[in-house]
Amino acid sequence: MAREEVNNEIDEMLIDGYEVQQGQGGDTTLPDEFNANYLKLYYGKLFPHADLYKWMSYGNDGKHPACDPSYLGRREFSYTLDNDIYVRFQSFNSAAELENSIKDKCPFKIDIGPVYSVDPSKRHAYAQSGDNVFTPVERELIFDIDISDYDDVRYCCSGADVCLNCWPLMTVAIKVIDTALRVDFGFKHILWAFSGRRGVHCWVCDAKARKLSNEGRAAIAEYFRVYKGNENSYKKVSLTGHALHPFLARSYTDVLKEFFETKLLSSQNLLSSEERFEKILEMIPDQSVTSELRGKWQESRRSSSVKEDINVVRWEQLKQLLQSGKYKAQRLHRCVEEIVFSFTYPRLDMEVSKHMNHLLKAPFCVHPKTGRVCVPIDPNHCEEFDPTTVPTLSQLLEELNREGLTTDVEGEWNKTSLRSAIRLFRFLFLQPLLEACKKEIESSYNAKLKQSKDLLSW
């Protein structure tokens, strides 16, 4: 399709009241704000429908006699439409049904729920039978982490706002949780995704994770539970026991300590003012220590001779005092670790992880507040991820417009900045996952065949 035809197609999608600017050469320049009508082009030309279907099918695509043909049809999809209209318990029996529905409805958001015992769209029929057969039976183990939950330890932003000074808190969360899921629990197929605005989502997709009971999910969530504070408590974290649990010790040594001391201290100016250093002094349960530190820091504030970063200087003074032999018997040296954990340890939405029936936004949705796509994040290179450069809906359509629609077998997305995100999803996550699923299906099938043969021979 020629560029002129793409321009015409984009122009036809514009809703009344949006001004369309003409760039050089007559190209259409789309406004930055989120436009619901752009979604029609996005879902029609760029959204990876086939990849979403393959993921949600987990190898049950009908190409093997052991496939479960009802598997996808028992999965709940939920749409959020314009004007906050919620459409829950959608289900689809094929890739074509799923794609056609998304293109037709153009949802502002697509949420993914559990696989139920029966088709969720027919739940009322089963309810009338009197049998309680409509129940979730399978669901990825999921984690939801929002930057707004860190508002008490960041000073650059608040609420849903995020910048490159506070976003590294999300990077730390990914590193800590991802390592534990792989090393401590043995999970392999883990997808991390940017929420599109203020946080990250984690999908653990191994078969053993998907089949966990609510009790099993709660146990794993509790394994990660360290942050127990609230906005009214001074001591956010309590590290009990003679020594740190190996998971916590590894997180502290490998990630948290260095991040706190080399980045967060200075980027958030945690000890630069009396108001801020008092928050940290309140975490130390010894008035003689806090009085001594307060005296030093108030004196240094009046002195102009200190050329080093005042945050680093004061932190070293705090560590030296708390970890000195003078206070070792009182175990105040643990306060240093507790302060670091309070400021840097991942803050999970525990309820999302504990229960099978929670919904979570699908990757590659477009966030209606920011217009940014919910793209995957490579946990091995998560420190390189920049949320401020994630492609927006208007940016993608401008790129599509510049290139013109082609017959590229890889899809139109291959000519836009969505390319790297889809390739990451496909090759780093989806391909290894589907290979594992097919092996599991084949192994289960062969085991059943052997069992049948053994019974016949007996």
Measuring CA to CA, which residue among 436, 416, 418 is closest to residue 190? 436
Q: Are 203 and 193 in contact (CB under 8 A)?
A: yes
Instruction: Report the candidate in 61, 43, 403, 392 with the shortest Cα–Cα distance to residue 196.
Output: 392
DSSP one-letter code for 170: H
Does the annotation count 146 as an active-site position?
yes
The separation between CA 203 and the C-alpha centre of its own chain, rounded to angstroms, equals: 8
User: What is the identity of the amino acid at 367?
Assistant: H
Contact present, 430 and 421 (Cβ < 8 Å): no
Active-site residue, from 76, 111, 337, 398: 76
> Is residue 457 helix, strand or coil?
helix
Q: Which one of 119, 138, 146, 412 is the catalytic residue?
A: 146
Can you state the percent helix, strand and coil of the chain, rounding each to 5? 50, 10, 35
- Is 258 catalytic? The answer is no
CA 402 to chain centre: 31
CB 183 within 8 A of CB 118: no
Alpha helices by DSSP H, listed for 202-333, are 207-210, 214-223, 246-251, 257-259, 265-267, 274-281, 287-302, 310-322, 325-328
- 76 in active site: yes
Dihedral angle sign, alpha carbons of residues 40, 46, 47, 50: positive
Give the span between the Cα atoms of 158 and 149, in whole angstroms: 9
CA–CA–CA angle 382, 384, 388 (5° rounding) = 105
Catalytic residue among 119, 144, 178, 412: 144
Which residues are paired to 406 by β-bridges? none
Strand pairing partners for 115?
Answer: 75, 138
Q: Which residues are catalytic?
A: 76, 144, 146
